């Protein structure tokens, strides 16, 4: 079966619309501009070659991110140590919320995470995210930066939905712990609250 050239050209045009987002995420994955450029280029090459397998009308953005993520894991992450999820188990719930004096504890709500993150510079949040182990960093990137749903992340990473939720939960807790250290350096810590929490 031959592919209509116009259809393939339309596919290429549509795919290229996602290049900036792919490159932004690739930068956070590889932490290196040259590697990020190579990763995005390889993603588009694989997408072009796999054009026949793409189902028209489905989520092209998610399909491209799946290709890029798999490429990164298989190529760039192959030689790195695979941390276990239990390495983050010692980070308590609401670690950062309990220690930041700048957050009114009585006002914590569904937007608590947004309230907390607003206290930090973009560079601090970016650094905390980039220091996460890959298996936690990638789901957090997909969810909190790219806005994919849990179901979409599960499909992109080809892992169970429960695993996505677990890795997001633990990744975010680890980020809280790192941001807590930045908060100490900037004097955002409520020492009285911290002492009270330690006494409980």
89-199 CATH fold: Arc Repressor Mutant, subunit A (1.10.10)
Q: Choose between 154 and 90: higher pLDDT.
A: 154
- Given the candidates 3.40.50.1370, 1.20.810.10, 2.40.50.100, 1.10.1740.10, the CATH classification of the domain at 5-76 is 1.10.1740.10
Given a cut of 70, is residue 176 above it in pLDDT?
yes
Which pLDDT score is estimated for 129? 86
Which pLDDT score is estimated for 89? 46
Which pLDDT score is estimated for 108? 45
User: Can you tell me the mean pLDDT for 25-54?
Assistant: 90
Same-fold call for 5-76 versus 89-199 = no
Contact 156, 148 (CB under 8 A): yes
- Select, from the ranges 4-18, 72-86, 104-118, 134-148, the one with the highest average predicted confidence (pLDDT): 134-148
Domain boundaries along the sequence of the chain: 5-76, 89-199
Q: Give tens-digit pLDDT for 84-103.
A: 444 444 444 444 444 444 44
The helix-helix angle for 19-30 and 122-130 (nearest 10°) equals: 70
Three-state DSSP class for residue 78: coil
Which pLDDT score is estimated for 142? 92
| Banded pLDDT at 130 (limits 50, 70, 90) | confident
User: Can you tell me the mean pLDDT for 117-121?
Assistant: 72
User: Can you tell me the mean pLDDT for 93-116?
Assistant: 48
- The pTM assigned to this predicted structure is 0.70
Which of 20-24, 65-69, 78-82 is predicted least confidently?
Answer: 78-82
């Amino acid at each position: 079966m031959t592919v209509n050239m116009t259809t393939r050209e339309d596919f290429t045009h549509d795919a290229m619309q996602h290049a900036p987002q792919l490159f932004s995420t690739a930068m956070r994955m590889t932490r290196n501009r040259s590697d990020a450029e190579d990763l995005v280029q390889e993603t588009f090459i694989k997408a072009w070659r796999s054009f026949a397998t793409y189902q028209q009308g489905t989520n092209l953005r998610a399909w491209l991110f799946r290709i890029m993520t798999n490429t990164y894991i298989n190529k760039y992450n192959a030689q790195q140590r695979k941390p276990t999820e239990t390495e983050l188990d010692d980070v308590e719930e609401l670690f950062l919320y309990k220690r930041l004096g700048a957050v009114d504890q009585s006002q914590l709500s569904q937007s608590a995470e947004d309230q907390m993150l607003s206290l930090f510079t973009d560079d601090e949040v970016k650094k905390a995210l980039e220091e996460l182990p890959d298996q936690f960093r990638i789901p957090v990137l997909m969810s909190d930066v790219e806005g994919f749903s849990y179901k979409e992340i599960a499909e992109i990473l080809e892992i169970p939905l429960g695993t996505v939720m677990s890795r997001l939960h633990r990744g975010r807790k680890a980020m809280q712990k790192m941001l807590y250290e930045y908060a100490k350096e900037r004097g955002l810590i409520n020492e009285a609250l911290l002492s009270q929490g330690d006494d409980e």
